[in-house]
Each structure stands twice: as C-alpha cells, then as structure tokens.
C-alpha cells in the first residue's frame, strides 16, 4: 500500500495522481467486491481484538471534496463491524462555543479512548482548507496551523494513538456526474446541497489547499494516503486494506486470563 502513502516532506502535485487508478485490483469490480467482504470480516475480528486487548487507540481521518464519498466509505468499509466498537465524529461549521476556543478544542475531545476506533468525517484539517479558501481567518493565522497540527498529532501518537489519514481523490468531472445524479434521482435529491455548487466553483483553490495539507502534514506518526476515488469499489477496498494492514501491524493479542479454565466447573 506504500504506493499511496505520502512520504514525509514530499511535495504533492495532485494532477499527477490518477483518480481512476486501480492497480492493486486490475481484475476489476467483481473481484474488488469479493476482497472487500474479506476485509470486512478481518476488520470485525481486529476491532474485537483491539477492544479486548484494551491497549491501543485508533484514529482514522477522512477528508475529501463534496461527493467524494466520505459517508459511503465509512458505511462500506465498516460493514459488519460491531457498532459498539466504532464511533464516527463529524465536524461541521463550528458553533459559537467552539469558535470561542482554539480550533483544536472541539477535536481533542473527540479523539478515541483506549480500545476504541474513532473515524473523523472531516476534521481539524477544515481549519486549513475551507477556512483558508474562504479567508475566514488571515493567512498569518492559518499558515501557523500546519505546525500545530503536526505537534497535536504527535502528542496523540506518543500517548498511544495510531493515526491514519485518507484523502479521497476524485476529479471535477466525476464530481459533476455525482452532483447531477443527485438531481436526477428522486431518492438522492435530499443529498443535493445547492451550496456545494459554490464550493465546486472554488475547485482549484481547494486543490491547492489540499496539496499544501498533504505536503506539510504527512508525518511518520500520522501519514496521509491519497486514495483514488473515482471508482467507489476501489476506494472502499483500498481504505479497508490499509486499515486492516495497520491493525495487523499492532500485533495485538487477547489478554491472559488470571484463572485456569480447566479448574472451573459451572454448576
């Protein structure tokens, strides 16, 4: 999966990343969906082990342009996983109380506890994305945040949190198609947000802001992966695989019990 990992310190040019790429599953969608079923199963087991061992914390961050599929990724990758074991935190426009604090205040509260997996649907990265693109704070303010973010994530990692960050990469044509299908299909219409068109008009500015995020905040303790996301099945497969591989790498085991089961008789 190293193909999709951003090495710390490298400059990212998103025009060089193909959103249609499917090189780890050239056989196509049917094979991809079969592999995803295995991933779902592995994830179910690994989540239970994580909870039982009660040692690690796992934070998964999803960022993307509108319609790239943050919700769909969560739904499909975690299909079958015990809903008690995974929590999703969504970050919308900050409330008045949140705005009265530093931008990491609301984020830190949502980070996973021991034995837990938390998925961030949007995150503190909005504070260098939408905030930058719309000039919600001056440049001197947002430009300092990359360093804060790296240090904040370092703190979480030092204290036992495994962090994975995914940028779901679609292109503007794919977004156009997805927005159009939300208009065309009556049961998708509720998802259409006319405000998304205003954001779409800012596409190049968002891409620049994402390139800076990916270039400045992919660290050994909290790496970014760029996920080709024009094909939904490939996006789900890749995100799932990376999470499973990372969890396997934690070498978790069930806790030792303090009794000898052979000596216990249940009347």
| ∠ Cα 39 45 47 (to 5°) | 95
| 259 vs 244: CA distance, rounded Å | 31
Query: Rule CB under 6 A: is residue 88 a binding residue for ligand ATP?
Result: no
Judged by CB under 6 A, the residue of 61, 119, 131, 163 near ligand ATP is 131
Residue 91 interacts with ligand ATP (CB under 6 A)?
yes
Cα–Cα nearest to 77, from 6, 140, 168, 2: 168
| Footprint of ligand ATP on 94-123 (CB under 6 A) | 94, 122
User: How far, in Å, CA of 6 to CA of 13, rounded?
Assistant: 11
> Which of 66, 153, 174, 212 is close enough to bind ligand ATP by CB under 6 A?
66
- Region of 4-12, 28-36, 88-96, 149-157 interacting with ligand ATP (CB under 6 A): 88-96
Contact 118, 89 (CB under 8 A): yes
User: Is the CB of 47 or the CB of 175 nearer to Mg ion?
Assistant: 175
Find the residue with minimal CB distance to ligand ATP.
126
Q: Mapping DSSP to helix (H, G, I), strand (E, B) and coil, where does residue 12 land?
A: coil
> According to the binding rule CB under 6 A, does residue 154 interact with ligand ATP?
no
Hey, is 261 helix, strand or coil?
Answer: helix
Q: Considering the complex, what minimum distance in angstroms separates the CB of residue 133 from ligand ATP?
A: 9
* Cα–Cα dist 234/25, whole Å: 8
DSSP conformation letters of 237-249: HHHHHHHHHHHHT
Q: Is 93 in the site for ligand ATP (CB under 6 A)?
A: yes
Q: Decide if residue 206 touches ligand ATP (CB under 6 A).
A: no
- Residues 189-218 binding Mg ion (CB under 5 A) are 193
- Of 216, 100, 203, which Cα lies nearest the Cα of 149? 216
| 126 part of the interface to ligand ATP, by CB under 6 A | yes
131 binds, among ligand ATP, Mg ion, none (CB under 5 to 8 A by kind): ligand ATP
Do residues 240 and 36 make contact, with C-beta atoms less than 8 angstroms apart?
yes
Query: Distance (Å, rounded) from C-alpha 120 to C-alpha 107?
Result: 9
Closest to ligand ATP by CB, 135 or 265: 135
- Rounded to a whole number of angstroms, the minimum distance from the CB of residue 9 to ligand ATP is 26
Interacting residues toward Mg ion by CB under 5 A? 193
Interacting residues toward ligand ATP by CB under 6 A? 66, 71, 91-94, 122, 126-127, 130-131, 193
């Amino acid at each position: 999966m190293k193909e999709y990992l951003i090495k710390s310190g490298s400059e990212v040019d998103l025009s060089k990343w193909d959103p249609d790429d499917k090189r780890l599953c050239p056989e196509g969608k049917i094979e991809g969906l079969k592999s995803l079923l295995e991933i779902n199963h592995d994830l179910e087991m690994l989540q239970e082990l994580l909870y039982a061992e009660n040692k690690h914390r796992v934070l998964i961050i999803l960022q993307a342009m509108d319609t790239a599929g943050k919700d769909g990724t969560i739904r499909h990758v975690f299909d079958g996983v015990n809903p008690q074991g995974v929590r999703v935190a969504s970050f919308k426009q900050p409330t008045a109380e949140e705005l009265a604090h530093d931008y990491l205040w609301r984020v830190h509260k949502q980070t996973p506890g021991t034995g837990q997996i938390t998925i961030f649907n949007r995150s503190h990265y909005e504070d260098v994305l939408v905030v930058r693109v719309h000039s919600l704070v001056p440049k001197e303010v947002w430009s300092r945040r990359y360093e804060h973010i790296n240090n904040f994530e370092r703190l979480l990692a030092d204290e036992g949190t495994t962090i994975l960050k995914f940028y779901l990469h679609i292109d503007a044509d794919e977004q156009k198609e997805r927005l159009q299908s939300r208009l065309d299909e009556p049961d998708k219409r509720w998802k259409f947000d006319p405000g998304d068109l205003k954001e779409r008009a800012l596409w190049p500015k968002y891409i620049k802001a994402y390139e800076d995020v990916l270039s400045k905040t992919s660290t050994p303790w909290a790496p970014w992966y760029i996920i080709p996301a024009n094909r939904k099945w490939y996006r789900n497969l890749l995100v799932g695989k990376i999470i499973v591989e990372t969890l396997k790498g934690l070498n978790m085991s069930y806790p030792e019990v303090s009794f000898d089961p052979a000596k216990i008789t249940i009347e």
